[in-house]
Amino acid sequence: MNIKKILNPVDGSDHSMRSTQNTIELAKLLDARIILLHCHARFPIVLAEPYFQQAIDEINKSSEALVQPFLELLQQGDVAFDIRILEGAPGNKIPEVARIEKIDLIVMGSRGVTDFTGLLLGSVAHQVLHKAECPVFITK
């Protein structure tokens, strides 16, 4: 298996921070490029101007703040990477991005920010496992 592009979806959780650390190590071993992905909530469609633009600006600002620690980690890791910030449900967007970007491997945390006690695998990770066309590496 030739792994040259790794998709690393993040949501700001400790699980996603650890998955990024693991992704960096894998990328170094495999000489692969990382695509860091964050999916934010959908933009509201019922707001009129200027509130609509304010909502978009707030969502974008919050997404950029969430991604910042991951960006710093990737820069310190000295690996090749790109960042994608997209609107939509991560369970659907992650497999879609993997297909479009021709990703060789998805590395993601087992649970996200909701981290329901007792769940063995988060709902997003579960959806990605079933929808992705490439291998998925779930980290703890």
What's the pLDDT band for 112 if we cut at 50, 70, 90? Answer: low
Nearest to 128 by CA among 100, 101, 104, 107: 107
Return the structure tokens found at 97: 């991005």
Question: Is it the case that residue 60 has pLDDT exceeding 90?
Answer: no
pLDDT digits (tens, 9 = 90+) for 13-42: 999 999 999 999 999 999 999 999 999 877
Give the pLDDT confidence score for residue 120 in this predicted structure.
Answer: 46
For domain 5-119+126-139, which CATH number applies: 3.40.50.2000, 3.40.1370.10, 3.40.50.800, 3.40.50.620?
A: 3.40.50.620
60, with CB counted inside 10 A (0-12, 13-18, 19+), is middle
pLDDT digits (tens, 9 = 90+) for 1-15: 799 999 999 999 999
Give the pLDDT confidence score for residue 118 in this predicted structure.
Answer: 40
What's the pLDDT band for 119 if we cut at 50, 70, 90? Answer: very low
Give the pLDDT confidence score for residue 12 in this predicted structure.
Answer: 92
pTM above 0.95, yes or no: no
